[in-house]
Structure 1
Amino acid sequence: MNERIFKVLEFERIVQLLQEQAASGLGKEKASKLKPLDTLEEVNELQAQTDEAAHVIRLFGNVPLGGIFDIRPHVKRSQIGGALSAKECLDIASTIYGSKQLKRFIEDIEEPELPILRDLTDQIVPLNQLEREIKSCIDDNGHVMDGASEKLRTIRSKIRTNESRVRDKLESYTRTKSKMLSDAIITIRNERYVLPVKQEYRGSIGGIVHDQSASGATLFMEPQAVVELNNQLQEAKVQEKTEIDRILRELSALVAEDATILLQVVEVLAVIDFMFARAKLGNQMKAARPTMNDRGIIKMKQARHPLLPMDEVVANDVEIGESYRAIVITGPNTGGKTVTLKMIGLCTLMAQSGLQVPALDGCEMAVFSNVFADIGDEQSIEQSLSTFSSHMTNIVRILHELDERSLVLFDELGAGTDPQEGAALAMAILDEVVQKNARIIATTHYPELKAYGYNREGVVNASVEFDIETLSPTYRLLIGVPGRSNAFEISRRLGLQERIITSAQSHIGTDSRSVENMIASLEASRRGAEQDYEEAMELLREAEQLREELEQQWSQFEAKKEQLYRKAEEKAEKAIEKAKEEAEEIVKELRSKRNQAALKEHEWIEARKLFEDAQPKLAKEKGKQVKPKQENRALQPGDEVTLLTLNQQGTILNKINDHEYQVQVGIMKVKAKRNELKFVKGKEPLIEKPMATIKGSNYHVKPELDLRGERFEDALHQLEKYVDDALLANYPRVSIIHGKGTGALRKGVQEFAKRHPQITSYRDGGMNEGGSGATILEFK
């Protein structure tokens, strides 16, 4: 990969951000060496590592990577016989402990499968014995403890005894000869305990002078009485150092024995820390794992520049490499062309480095062998090159090195020279890159290139949107629409006289006006298509919600039906058992009379009646339910009916044919056959078109109002009259059906509810009440 591209696209800032996410010096070192790879297999392996680490972070928030140090220099020094310091030994023990904690954490995760992390942690060998040896000799502050050896404990006991004796002796001087001292304290000079003695009392104290103050008025003296005690103390301290050195040499030897394992553990920890650093950076950027390919295809939805604040940057959709290999972006300066160019290049480098890219899930990125860029003012003062010469020198080098696996980014191609020649040169350069089958994205402000994409195969025009109303760019990338010149519109809004604008327009050639008109037509078509798409998606979401509600209701209906069937069968079984028992009793009765005289007529009649009474009645009732009587009544629009398949009441909207009707059931309109409908009551005649009619002293009004399809003003007028009627009918609540659409009617209904004095509250409908397509009003 060309090293110069890292500076042009500010890849170094990504590396800095990645280093900040690393938990140890091991991870920081690997992050500092981050470079894009150029083979699909290697990139996929890195992306899989990052994705696995990101999954752990999403589930657990963090991983135990604390207490890990780069101990490789310590281990290597121990291998050649060097003695480690107490702090270095402690770092080794801490790293061993940290590796065990990480290994245990990964092993305890049951779901999901983590093949990469498990394979790495399997390589971590817990050196428990070495850790215990170090921890038994060195405390958490890096000091060798008294218990490191019996000899060290004895020596330190002697040191404490000698120090106590020296201090006791010197404290007697501070009490009895304080007038001779500059200050009644005991201090240390040259590792020996001394007193601050006034110059004039030097002879009175006697002893060895170790130092004096800056003014010379104070001498730091070791009285003769404590010289021998200090000598004994220093001797004990020398013995202490000798013993500590011996202990550290032994620990260093133990480290050397396990050096190979320690270096392997450190390398594994470095890889894992680097994995999680990449995952944390992706989480911070709200990035997604890209699907990588080697076909030069880039597809990103709502992609953002990685280095711009998320609350300020405008996300854009970018696609190249499949239907077209080149994108030519036109539009005004400061419109976001260069940012878009850098975003695509930087995301490509990040993806090839194993980093996730700031875009929606499902993005696709390509692995390029080289990414070339000519962006910004790179005028070389030393070489006395003009801006155009500097850019052209860079472009010549790029054209010489690129191939079909290259991504080329040109900013303001052909700028810095005569416009006509620059535009011609830009088209020739674009043709050359396209012919070599490389992927190219170029920005330009030359009007001649606006129609370039329509005359070249594999090339598409694009532009950055400009808002004429606010006279500012929106930073939205519009692929398929070339940039439109807004000079006349901007001048008109800024107050330039119309006659001047008209005169200027007369100087524009017919071809230029045709291109501008074409672009304006394309923009209008695009806006219309986007609006239609949004409406279609809204309808699709509403239909999916209705389907989910119907499926849920149907499941409930089937469950209820099955429950009723089970109860009926149980009841039938009990009735049959009872009938059998009664029949047995009758048979016994007849057998008891078999040897008697013939039965009389009234006895036979009574026995027949007993048999008839013993028959289970449920079977007959169930038979009637299974075969309901068919209704032949013709239904009319407005009739209220029951839809038997859903067990829901509805209203006939119209008759489709002799056997089929359209029925309004809640917020749904469904088709139903005549045998699926049960007549409830006919439509009541209404006077004029009021929302309620009066019968005697009672108001009759439906508990819902459907405003879908109405104009905004008409809908609010109907709503006002309906609320008055509903209040007269003493309804506690009503449902206003306004649909989802653009949301304007929903907002109008809720604004009306806020202002109305009789409406206590309002809310969106529930799952079975129309969702956000309906508003429920609560009355006082």
Structure 2
Amino acid sequence: MFSIETLQFESLLKLVAGNAQTPMGRDFVLGVRPLSSRPELERDLRLVEETFALKEEEVVWNFSELSEPSDAIALLRIKDSSIEPSILRELARLLSQALFAKDEIRKEKQVAPTLWQIVETLPKDLADLAAKINNKILPSGEIDDSASSELGRIRREINSQRGKLTRSLEGMMRSNSDAIQDEIVTLRNERFVIPVKADFSGKINGVAHGASSSGATVFIEPLESIEANNELQKLKANEENEIARILFSLAEELREQLPAIERAVDAIAELDFVKAKTIFAERFDAIVPEISEDETLDLVDARHPLLEENLRTAETQRSRDNSVPRAVATGKNDKNEGNTNDAIARSHNHPDAEAPP
């Protein structure tokens, strides 16, 4: 009896996992174990067959720039917890790509009923929620001015107040040019100040907010600008509160859809797993095996994919060393011959083991 270790099952899974496009898909591949249920095995083989059939119809899906969502999901499970803008955008990206895959499969769901079952229950509402998040949160993670009318109003007031304060300080510097080091309004401790020569610091009444490294300049907030600076800080606090409210509202909407989001994560993981197997199959000229009723094992031109991979790697290295293109014969590519990799060999000991692909 061959063991999983003898057949290098874990190494085979790593080879297949290299084709996954997402962390979830990779984990799915690496978590595969031989199946003892024939219906489960037949379902997995149908998924591969249907994916190949859809490709012939030019129906494909891809996943890109998706992060592992477990931390985000954990935050959604915590009532009233806040979620960073970048994480909200990552969830929106995940939902958008899951729904894109659903739309693609829907086109030929009669051809791919098993694949359709994976995505069928994903609600359309997720698309609206993903769009709302992307509209309110910029790619940089900043909140867009249009995220709420209140945020837009506050930011307009901030810009107006900042402009008035800056102009006032610029006028003050012109009036006291002999005491000013550089006529540039500066920000210190989140407050607008002017750079005053250390020898003239007593000429400008106000609050000192530190000095330059050389000590030649003192940054002073004139008394006349304190109230304006205070008003600006108040507006900034209002802005932060409004941003927090927007982010909390988005998190709550996601929280209400948590079961559907978890289904989207599972769907992406399995679809990525299936696609990784089809890429593996194409690379090694593998076919979907036919499972016999009497457990008969028929191997034609069978080869171990790990050995073939090692040969390819070695041949590539030799070609680079010699600067001479070379090729490795990998056996016949007949749809009725070929091999399904060592997974067929596993079926000798695990008749119902799943074979990638």
TM range (shorter): 0.7 to 0.9
Q: Render the CA deviation track for 1:357-401: whole Å, top value 9, x for unaligned.
A: xxxxxxx5442558xxxxxxxxxxxxxxxxxxxxxxxxxxxxxxx
Question: 1:157 deviation in Å?
Answer: 1.7
The CA distance in 1 between the partners of 2:175 and 2:283, in whole Å, is 69
Structure 1 SS opposite 2:63 = coil
Count the aligned residue pairs.
Answer: 328
Structure 2 SS opposite 1:307 = helix
| TM-score normalised by structure 1 residue count | 0.37
The CA distance in 2 between the partners of 1:176 and 1:368, in whole Å, is 94
Matched to 1:299, the amino acid is L
1:337-348 aligned within 5 A: 347-348=341-342
Determine if contact 2:61/2:100 at 8 Å carries over to the other structure: no
Q: 1:51 to 1:219 in 2, by over 3 A?
A: farther
Matched to 2:347, the amino acid is V
1:300-449 aligned within 5 A: 300-301=300-301, 303=303, 305-308=307-310, 309=312, 312-315=327-330, 347-348=341-342, 351=343, 365-369=345-349
The CA distance in 2 between the partners of 1:170 and 1:3, in whole Å, is 76
The CA distance in 2 between the partners of 1:10 and 1:180, in whole Å, is 78
| TM-score normalised by structure 2 residue count | 0.75
Q: Render the CA deviation track for 1:180-211: whole Å, top value 9, x for unaligned.
A: 55544333332222344443333234433333
1:224 aligns with 2:214: no
Question: 1:233 deviation in Å?
Answer: 0.8
Determine if contact 2:59/2:104 at 8 Å carries over to the other structure: no
Question: 1:74 deviation in Å?
Answer: 2.9
The CA distance in 1 between the partners of 2:301 and 2:345, in whole Å, is 11
State the match for 1:297 in structure 2: 297
State the match for 2:155 in structure 1: 156
Question: 1:68 deviation in Å?
Answer: 5.2
State the match for 2:76 in structure 1: 78
Question: 1:295 deviation in Å?
Answer: 3.9
Structure 1 SS opposite 2:301 = strand
Determine if contact 1:68/1:99 at 8 Å carries over to the other structure: no
State the match for 1:54 in structure 2: 52
Determine if contact 1:137/1:145 at 8 Å carries over to the other structure: yes
Matched to 2:297, the amino acid is I
Q: Render the CA deviation track for 1:271-320: whole Å, top value 9, x for unaligned.
A: 11221122223333443333356847351416363423285545469xxx
Structure 1 SS opposite 2:187 = strand
State the match for 2:237 in structure 1: 238
The CA distance in 2 between the partners of 1:16 and 1:183, in whole Å, is 62
Q: Render the CA deviation track for 1:680-715: whole Å, top value 9, x for unaligned.
A: xxxxxxxxxxxxxxxxxxxxxxxxxxxxxxxxxxxx
Q: 1:297 to 1:215 in 2, by over 3 A?
A: farther
Structure 1 SS opposite 2:220 = strand
Q: 1:271 to 1:200 in 2, by over 3 A?
A: same
Q: 1:19 to 1:213 in 2, by over 3 A?
A: farther
Determine if contact 2:98/2:267 at 8 Å carries over to the other structure: no
**Which is bigger in relative contact order (C-alpha 8 A, separation at least 6)?**
2
Q: CA RMSD in A?
A: 3.7
* Structure showing greater Rg: 1
Determine if contact 2:25/2:272 at 8 Å carries over to the other structure: yes
Question: 1:162 deviation in Å?
Answer: 1.2
Matched to 1:118, the amino acid is W
Larger mean CA deviation between 233-242 and 31-40 belongs to 31-40
Name stretches of at least 5 consecutive residues in structure 2 with no aligned partner: 314-325, 333-338, 353-357
The CA distance in 1 between the partners of 2:280 and 2:180, in whole Å, is 64
The CA distance in 1 between the partners of 2:283 and 2:172, in whole Å, is 66
1:22 aligns with 2:20: yes
Q: 1:300 to 1:226 in 2, by over 3 A?
A: farther
The CA distance in 1 between the partners of 2:62 and 2:201, in whole Å, is 62
Question: 1:241 deviation in Å?
Answer: 1.1
Structure 1 SS opposite 2:299 = strand
Question: 1:134 deviation in Å?
Answer: 3.3
Determine if contact 1:21/1:281 at 8 Å carries over to the other structure: yes
1:256 aligns with 2:252: no
Question: 1:232 deviation in Å?
Answer: 0.8
State the match for 2:355 in structure 1: none
State the match for 2:120 in structure 1: 122
Q: 1:198 to 1:264 in 2, by over 3 A?
A: same
Matched to 1:189, the amino acid is R
Question: 1:140 deviation in Å?
Answer: 4.4
Determine if contact 1:155/1:240 at 8 Å carries over to the other structure: yes
- Please, which of 43, 46, 50 is the counterpart of residue 45 of structure 1? 43
Question: 1:158 deviation in Å?
Answer: 1.4
Which structure carries more strand by proportion?
A: 1
Question: 1:59 deviation in Å?
Answer: 4.5
Q: Render the CA deviation track for 1:142-196: whole Å, top value 9, x for unaligned.
A: 3323333332222222111111122222333565556655544333332222344
Question: 1:54 deviation in Å?
Answer: 3.4
State the match for 2:268 in structure 1: 269
Question: 1:221 deviation in Å?
Answer: 3.3
Question: 1:123 deviation in Å?
Answer: 2.1
The CA distance in 2 between the partners of 1:182 and 1:17, in whole Å, is 65
Matched to 1:52, the amino acid is E
State the match for 2:321 in structure 1: none
The CA distance in 2 between the partners of 1:90 and 1:256, in whole Å, is 14
Q: Render the CA deviation track for 1:661-684: whole Å, top value 9, x for unaligned.
A: xxxxxxxxxxxxxxxxxxxxxxxx
Determine if contact 1:188/1:194 at 8 Å carries over to the other structure: yes
Q: 1:316 to 1:264 in 2, by over 3 A?
A: closer
Structure 2 SS opposite 1:367 = helix
The CA distance in 1 between the partners of 2:204 and 2:282, in whole Å, is 72
Determine if contact 2:53/2:111 at 8 Å carries over to the other structure: no
Q: Which runs of 4+ in 1 moved over 6 A?
A: none
Matched to 1:200, the amino acid is D
State the match for 2:171 in structure 1: 172
The CA distance in 2 between the partners of 1:126 and 1:2, in whole Å, is 45
